[in-house]
């Protein structure tokens, strides 16, 4: 009985750790971008306790850079990218810091 209780406790601890942890895509601690898509908007925000410099790059389907933005070094950073009037297609969004790429994904966006 005791061994079973220990196994359940260990499994529960591991499961809770996985559920409440956030992937950081190679970032240092507390540099995890949160990406949310609402309609045709991509909302990016993060907590920057280390004072790193962050950049957001957006590439179109031809892999051409169409947007570049430096987010700064504040403690909380955010950016909203609006694709409402953009051509429909896959856009590659990259969020990076001095330490490397934190988020790199292709998203289907645009309405035209």
CATH, residue 31:
2.60.40.3080
Q: Do the domain assignments include residue 15?
A: no
Tell whether the model's pLDDT for residue 107 goes beyond 60: yes
Greater confidence, 42 or 99? Answer: 42
Q: Do the domain assignments include residue 6?
A: no
* Cα–Cα distance, 31 to 47 (Å, whole number): 6
Q: Do the domain assignments include residue 2?
A: no
Q: Do the domain assignments include residue 100?
A: yes
Which residue from 44, 48, 23, 26 is spatially nearest to 34, judged by alpha carbons?
44
Q: Do the domain assignments include residue 71?
A: yes
pTM: 0.68
Tell whether the model's pLDDT for residue 46 goes beyond 50: yes
Domain span at residue 67 reads 25-109
Q: Do the domain assignments include residue 8?
A: no
How many structural domains does the chain have? 1
Starting at the edge strand found earlier in the chain, the sheet holding 65-72 runs 65-72, 54-59, 89-97, 100-109
């Amino acid at each position: 009985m005791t061994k079973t209780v220990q196994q359940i406790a260990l499994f529960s601890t591991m499961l809770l750790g996985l559920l409440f942890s956030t992937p950081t895509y190679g970032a240092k601690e507390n540099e995890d971008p949160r990406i949310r898509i609402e309609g045709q908007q991509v909302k990016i925000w993060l907590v920057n306790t280390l004072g790193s410099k962050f950049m957001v790059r957006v590439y179109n389907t031809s892999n051409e850079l169409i947007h570049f933005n430096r987010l700064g070094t504040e403690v909380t950073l955010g950016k909203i990218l609006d694709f409402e009037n953009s051509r429909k297609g896959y856009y590659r969004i990259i969020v990076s810091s001095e330490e490397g790429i934190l988020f790199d994904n292709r998203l289907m966006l645009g309405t035209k």
